[in-house]
Structure 1
Amino acid sequence: MSADDFNIAALARAWIGTPYLHQASCKGAGTDCLGLLRGIWREVYGQEPELIPPYTPDWSEPQQDERLLRAARAHLIEKPLAEMASSDVLVFRMRKGAVAKHLGIVGESGAVPTFIHAYSGHGVIENALSTPWKRRIAGCFAFPSTNFSGR
């Protein structure tokens, strides 16, 4: 089965209301932003592409290591932000000059774009992709259309 057989945005919306829980990835019980992507990945492909080691809230900051962007480039298809579409993955820098450490799934693109993400203190929500959020985007990625076997 491929990502083309799923509406990724609809899968992400099914997680709305899941409480925020650092390092978790269980729809309805708890998740963080990476856990949301991991859970959707499992729904689409059945197995995560790599084992995620434990991580702290400040992971990769002291080393200025773009770990999240590297992982996105390894497992997703990078595309220009101008081509952003529903179901794409957005990676964000939460502060100017900081490493990218947050991600979400595009809910709606076009004139009034939205994204679905797990946000500390709020859980999984759908937000307007407002100008302040747009300024934080570090990368836009699509799910691959086929599984990773043999890749």
Structure 2
Amino acid sequence: MLAQGRRVHIGGMQIRLDDQLATETLAALIADRCAPGDCFALSGGLGAGKSTFSRGFLRHLAQDPQMEVPSPSFALVQPYETPKGTIYHYDLWRLDGPDALYELAWDEACEGIMLVEWPERAGDLLPEGALHLTFTPGDTEDSRVVELTGWPEERLTGLNP
């Protein structure tokens, strides 16, 4: 269950996530709203929750709560087939520069659904209209705060039941 400490502000919202399960629940709620062409830009330091969010998102859309979701850190991109279409999970931590994205099916991925960890490394190639999720540590070891920006408020409504 998501925490009640949601703060909505112009251009986005901020949600407190009490633990890993809350992060995965938020991922499932957002996954239900996604469509081909959507990009989710996941920012935050190492261990901030980006991979936990991605795993919850992918497992939810694949309808497989035990699905193995390895980090794409080595390959940089891992595609997944789901009932909503192909999801491209990028980890750009090791990317040499934005131009290298063309070798990683970036144009094709922009037509699917994209999860992009370390999106700042994509530079100007990150699709317009992406939902930016910025994860920061919360006030306990397991908690996180995520700020969501880039989507109109009507697409964010109801994310914190």
Whether these two folds match at TM > 0.5 is: no
After TM superposition, the score normalised by the length of structure 1 is 0.36
After TM superposition, the score normalised by the length of structure 2 is 0.34
